Structures are given as C-alpha cells and as structure tokens.
Amino acid sequence: MSTSKGRTASGKDRAAVFDVDGTLVDTNHLHVVTWWEAFRQAGHSVSTHAIHRAVGLGSDDLVAHLLGDDSASDTDEAEKLSTAHKVLYAQYFDRLSPLPGAGRLLRQLAGDGWTVVLATSAGGDELSALRRAIDADDAIKATASADDVTQGKPAPEPVERALELAGVPAERAVFVGDTVWDMQAGSSAGVTCLGLLCGGIPRADLEEAGADAVFDDPAHLLASLSRTPLA
C-alpha cells in the first residue's frame, strides 16, 4: 500500500466518489473479452492487452483510442462496435460479482457521514445490473452516469458532476478508481484520488496518473480506512 500524500477531505459535508467497473464490480476482464469479440466480428484485430489498458474510457473514446481517430470518425462503425459490445456484455448482467468488500465499504463510509456517489461510464440497464451486483443502494446517494455528461473520463466532467450531485467542493472529496483514466479525471477535477489494483492496472501507472494512495481492492481499503483521507 502507498501512503497518502497528505490531502484530506474532512468535516461535516464530504463526498466519497467511486468508479464502478473494476473498482466495485469485477467486470474489467468481461469488458476485455466482449470488446475483443466485437472488434473481431467487425474485422479488426486488437490485442486483449491493448483493450485492457483502454477499459474505463467511454465507448467512442475507447474505439478512437484503439483504432485511431480516422476509424473513430466513422460514426456508423463506432456505433456498430459499441452496440456489438453492449449485446455481448449484456449476457453477463445476471452474473456480475462485486469485488471483495465493495458493499461493506460503501455502507461504512455512509455510516461515517460521507455522501457516497458513483461516477461511471455505464448507463441504463448496464448501470442497473452493476448496482444490483454491489447491493448497497441504501448507501449510495446519487450516480453520475454516461447519460449525465458530454465527456467521459479522463475528462474531469464525470467527477465534477458527481460533486455537483453531492453538493460538495473538490477539496472535500475523495475519488476511488482502478484505471489511469480514473486517476486523471479525479486529478483534473481537483480531488484526492485513491487507486485500486483489482482492475488489473499496475500500481506505478496509477500513481503516475495521480493516485495519492493505492490499495488492493475495496476490502483492503476498508481495512485501511484509518490511514487514508477517508478516515
């Protein structure tokens, strides 16, 4: 575990903002496989390693990142790929699993007086499936989803929207995520960022992207709360 660099969100009104995929629910590798299949069906050869590094971006940005801006400018192709991924991924909705300690962490923070908000690129039925997997709706105050923003991570807008919903300024918030895109979005929004390794991204990459501290998974973060800005 890395130690906090010293920034903290304390006091009465404070927000704990969470990414969902790979942070609270064990979905990153499902996204890798289903995006790989969507690309394969469309005649594109994209490595699973490259897809894994791109997970966390919104669909359009992920396609642009992996195929290049020229391919992404073909809106029909990008929409076709996104639709194929959604159909393939939807097969797993009823089998999604929370990461260790996810629900307990959210309930602990809510009980400690934190306003818990989700900031995710998921929306619609996908978001509903993720929330069912977490099974902690009683602790979640609000959600900033793909339907609420014009730019996804690494742009700060998803985190900024989450802060608006919580009614909390950036200096009184902590953002928890598992990808470099999460850390870049949170840093750009001016919040303290905590990284989790359970999404499969190396510690050094999360720290370089702006993580103030890094933990294994939600259970590890929960066990370490007293030594974090979420204390």
By the 8 A CB rule, do 146 and 130 touch? no
Q: What is the pLDDT of residue 73?
A: 57
Q: What angle do CA 94, 97, 100 make, to 5 degrees?
A: 165
Reported as a single tens digit per residue, the pLDDT across 66-120 is 998 666 557 788 899 999 999 999 999 999 999 999 999 999 999 999 999 999 9
Query: Any idea what the Cα angle at residue 63 is, between residues 61 and 68, rounded to 5°?
Result: 95
pLDDT of residue 4 exceeding 80, the answer is no
Task: For residue 150, give both structure tokens.
Answer: 């014009």
pLDDT of residue 39: 97
Burial of 134 (0-12, 13-18, 19+ CB in 10 A): buried
Report whether 162 contacts 15 (CB < 8 A). yes
Span 192-221, average pLDDT: 98
pLDDT given for residue 71 in this prediction: 61
pLDDT higher than 50, residue 204 = yes
pLDDT of residue 3: 44
> Going edge to edge, which strands form the sheet with 15-18?
140-144, 115-119, 15-18, 173-177, 192-196, 213-215
First to last CA, the chain: 16
- Domains located in the chain, CATH noted: 15-27+96-227 (3.40.50.1000), 28-91 (1.10.150)
Distance CA 185, CA 224 (A): 24
pLDDT(214) > 50: yes
C-alpha count within 13 angstroms, C-beta hemisphere, residue 82: 17
At which residue do the structure tokens 């890798």 appear?
32
Average pLDDT for 53-74: 85
pLDDT digits (tens, 9 = 90+) for 9-36: 444 599 999 999 999 999 999 999 999 9
The chain-wide mean pLDDT, for the chain, equals 93
Question: pLDDT-derived band of residue 194, with 50, 70 and 90 as boundaries?
Answer: very high
Whether residue 64 has pLDDT greater than 80:
yes
Tens digit of each residue's pLDDT (9 = 90 or more) over 130-184: 999 999 999 999 999 878 888 999 999 999 999 999 999 999 999 999 999 999 9
**pLDDT in the model for residue 76:** 86
DSSP state of 94: G
